[in-house]
């Protein structure tokens, strides 16, 4: 059984036993979708079995569903070091961002400021207001100055502040961790933005941060923070949350007409609601239970300090190994303070999709491919988690070294296993 007081080696064995997919291969795609703990899957099956046998909609079931939502909110609040009343449940981090962006009273010509490595979640949420409200998307990019499109070497903070100075800037939305693994100094960026535009709301996408690095959301100074439940928190798909500050810069009455009250019914006056007023409607109880169970398991049985310390440490080990390979281009910051638990790279001569496919065939690596923030070819994305073993990351680095020493045409074929029937 997993316990926060086990020695490291024993805890790692127990955690891997509790997450069956960790033994199915070298699982380094947690940024895309974390593997489910067996305990979580069992809890979700129990709910599904109950609904199958006894139906849904009983009064007691509705009360139980409300209690399950409270449990999930409390679990997310604990990870964020936040008050439970400041957390709303959503259908994932992209949904959380969309809800937050709908909490702004947009006008045609307003500007939404973001950064080049914001990721697909921010892009999808921003597209909604850009298309429906006539909002202009402004990207603060080290390669292109937002004012005139010329190339620049200005610091990111300066570029964001410059883009926000415009009186039409209505919102800034930033990733806590970019798609290539860069950890943005959110508190520093917020202070710089507030110094010139204290009225502009700031929303942060924490999908690639929460569960991988410590997050003290109250200390960031932002107005909203989106959480993905299905990445490092190991929850089921389409789960997540939105932390909302009491600043009042986001308005729940704009976020959607079907916002839930604490009782699960609409109609409560907006000012009497807490963050749950931002919830986008009913959520499947099975998914809510799975999210609460995964987050609770990580917090109470595995131990958050161990989880949050181990993932970045393993990423650093992988960075150090890959930095020794000449044909590998690392796109993740070399400095530990600037990265989280993601290692992004390209291998010279190898399309990312082909390289990931070859790693899967050779060593059963489960890795990701994502679009590059530098307008270059797609990247290989390796995301480490608490359940990874150093030895399997060393095997992964060795396999990447083998690919880097060849091209897809010259790579030796793996040795075939011959099975002789008696």
Residue 44 is encoded by which pair of tokens?
């979700």
**How big is the CA angle at 50 (ends 44 and 54), to the nearest 5 degrees?**
155
Distance CA 357, CA 354 (A): 5
Q: Who wins on pLDDT, 254 or 244?
A: 244
CA separation (Å) from 179 to 30, 99, 110, 345, 380?
A: 13, 21, 26, 11, 11
Q: How confident is the model at residue 60 (pLDDT cuts 50, 70, 90)?
A: confident
Q: Cα–Cα distance between 327 and 160 in angstroms, integer?
A: 33
**Which range is least confidently modeled, 1-5, 24-28, 261-265?**
261-265
Radius of gyration of the chain (CA): 22
Which is more confident, 195 or 273? 195
Is 118 within 8 Å of 173 (Cβ atoms)?
yes
Higher pLDDT, 192 or 421: 192
Select from 171, 210, 161 the least CA-distant residue to 341: 210
Return the pLDDT at 151: 52
236-261: average pLDDT: 76
pLDDT band at 56 (very low <50, low <70, confident <90, very high): confident
Please give the DSSP secondary-structure letter assigned to residue 417. P
Q: What is the pTM of this model?
A: 0.91
The dihedrals phi and psi of 115, each to the nearest 5 degrees, come to -125, 165
The pLDDT assigned to 63 comes to 86
Q: What is the mean pLDDT of the chain?
A: 89
376, burial (CB in 10 Å: exposed 0-12, middle 13-18, buried 19+) = exposed
Checking DSSP bridges between strand 169-175 and strand 202-205, what pairing results, if any? parallel
Cβ atoms 365, 399 nearer than 8 A:
yes
With cut-offs at 50, 70 and 90, classify the pLDDT of residue 150: low
The pair of structure tokens assigned to 131 is: 């298309």
């Amino acid at each position: 059984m997993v316990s926060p007081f086990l020695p490291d080696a024993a805890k790692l064995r127990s955690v891997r036993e509790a997450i069956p997919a960790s033994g199915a291969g070298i699982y380094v795609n947690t940024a895309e979708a974390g593997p489910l703990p067996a305990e979580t899957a069992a809890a979700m099956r129990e709910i599904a079995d109950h609904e199958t046998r006894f139906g849904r909609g009983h009064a007691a079931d509705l009360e139980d569903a409300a209690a399950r939502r409270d449990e999930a909110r409390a679990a997310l609040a604990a990870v964020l070091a936040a008050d439970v009343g400041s957390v709303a449940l959503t259908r994932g981090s992209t949904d959380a961002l969309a809800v937050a962006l709908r909490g702004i009273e947009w006008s045609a010509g307003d500007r939404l400021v973001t950064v080049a490595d914001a990721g697909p979640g921010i892009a999808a949420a921003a597209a909604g207001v850009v298309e429906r409200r006539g909002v202009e998307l402004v990207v603060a990019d080290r390669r292109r100055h937002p004012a005139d499109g010329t190339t620049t070497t200005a610091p990111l903070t300066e570029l964001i502040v410059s883009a926000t100075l415009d009186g039409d800037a209505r919102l800034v939305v930033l990733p806590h961790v970019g798609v290539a693994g860069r950890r943005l100094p959110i508190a520093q960026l917020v202070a710089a933005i507030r110094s010139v535009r204290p009225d502009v709301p700031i929303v942060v996408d924490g999908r690639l941060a929460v569960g991988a690095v410590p997050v003290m959301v109250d200390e960031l100074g932002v107005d909203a923070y989106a959480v993905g439940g299905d990445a490092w928190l190991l929850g089921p798909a389409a789960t997540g949350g939105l932390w909302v500050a009491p600043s009042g810069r986001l308005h729940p009455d704009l976020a959607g007409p079907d916002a839930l009250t604490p009782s699960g019914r609409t109609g409560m006056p907006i000012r009497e609601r807490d963050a749950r007023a931002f919830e986008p409607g009913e959520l499947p109880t099975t998914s809510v239970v799975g999210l609460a169970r995964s987050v609770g398991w990580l917090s109470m049985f595995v131990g958050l300090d161990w989880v949050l310390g181990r993932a970045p440490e393993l990423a650093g080990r992988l960075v150090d190994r890959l930095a020794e390979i000449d044909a590998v281009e690392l796109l993740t910051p070399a400095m530990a303070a600037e990265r989280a638990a993601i290692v992004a790279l390209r291998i010279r001569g190898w399309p990312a999709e082909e390289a990931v496919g070859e790693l899967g065939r050779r060593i059963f690596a489960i890795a990701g491919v994502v679009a590059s923030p530098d307008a270059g070819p797609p990247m290989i994305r390796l995301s480490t988690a608490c359940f990874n073993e150093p030895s399997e990351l060393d095997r992964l680095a060795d396999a990447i070294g083998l690919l880097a020493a060849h091209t897809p045409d010259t790579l030796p074929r793996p040795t075939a296993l011959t099975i002789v029937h008696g």
